[in-house]
Amino acid sequence: MESIKSFSKSDLMKPYDIDKELRILRPLRYKKYSSFRRVIFNMIFNMSLYFTKPTKGMNKKTYVIKGYQNKKIKVFVLKHKDETKNEKGLLYLHGGGFQIEGTLVHLRMVSDMIDDSNHLAVFVKYRLAPKYPFPIGLEDCYSAYLWMIENKDMLGIDINQISIAGDSAGGNLSVGVALLVRDRLKRSFESMLLFYPVIDHRQISPSMKMFDDTPMWNSILNKNMWEIYLKNGDYGMLTYTSFLIADLKGLPTTYIETAEYDCLRDEGIWFAEKLKSLGIKVVERHMKNAVHGYDAVFFSQFIRKRIDERTLFLLGRLDDEKN
């Protein structure tokens, strides 16, 4: 079993000017995900998901559905208690390097996003690497979308008003699902929201070379993630997980957040530029003095503003494209 490897005091940490509300994340620097760390984190996060209550006034219900190759996966459906019909839907795909479970922070953040936007949310517990490498998690998430379509009457949603969202690796899965929906079903999501997403397996951007010791995520972890996720190859589907080499025509209006001190920053910006070059509307928010995974500091004003803007985007009221 691998040991947990973290940065020692002898390692030189660059003087990142992190926002004061996010400085609690500073100690969370690692060189590698270990098997032990994955097991412990997933055990804790998995239990927390079942016991976490959504925002007051909302219900959470668990469904067992058919994932990729008819294997069973679970989804959580979040909706308002006092509403029998939420016409708009949101498919949410959590981050975690394709190998860590979603957390209570994810559930609370999603329930807050849909509280004011009157969406019904489907939160997917897709299968994780390294046991289930690419494309299993992606196909599980696509299956969850099909389940939403097939159960639109039970859920009370309009299938033409479904958005998709995800953070980090979940952002990667979101784009991948949007491309699968375009190619297999000739359909499109109403909109797409990406928070500090994983975009490019080549890892060639300046920020990828620059940020090898940043809190929460860094280029060393990123390299390890791709090795684990693609350990069995790409099955001829590389463009459904590495998007700077993909045809992005037909993707929906997109909201994207990137963080200043994040190795994923530049590929997120490049992705936004590629979408705009195709005439796709993009609303960008580049978070200064922020690190990857800042949603973890859930009760801060920093995150409150992020959730407010995400909600406005879902409502179609965030029209500017300023950074």
Q: How far is CA 172 from the centre of its chain?
A: 7
pLDDT surpasses 80 at 207? yes
* Residue 171 maps to a domain: yes
CA 264 to chain centre: 13
User: pLDDT (tens digit, 9 = 90+) per residue, 258-275?
Assistant: 999 999 999 999 999 999
Asked whether residue 106 is domain-assigned, the answer is: yes
Give the catalytic positions in this structure: 168, 262, 292
pTM for this model (two decimals): 0.92
Contact 261, 254 (CB under 8 A): no
Going by pLDDT thresholds of 50, 70 and 90, the confidence category of residue 4 is: very low
Q: Is the pLDDT of residue 97 over 90?
A: yes
Q: Are the beta carbons of 289 and 18 closer than 8 angstroms?
A: yes
Number of domains in the chain: 1
**Domain assignment of residue 70, yes or no:** yes
Give 232-261 pLDDT, tens digit per residue. 999 999 999 999 999 999 999 999 999 999
> What range does the domain containing 233 cover?
5-314
DSSP reduced 3-state for 204? coil
Helix or strand or coil: residue 86?
coil
As a whole number of angstroms, the distance between CA 79 and CA 121 comes to 7
pLDDT at 116: 84
Domain-located, residue 29 = yes
Q: State pLDDT tens for residues 277-309.
A: 999 999 999 999 999 999 999 999 999 999 999
Domain for residue 320, yes or no? no
* Mean pLDDT over each residue of the chain, to the nearest integer: 91
CATH of the domain at 41: 3.40.50.1820
Name, of 64-73, 99-108, 111-120, the range with top average pLDDT.
64-73
Q: Is the pLDDT of residue 1 over 50?
A: no
In a domain, 322, yes or no: no
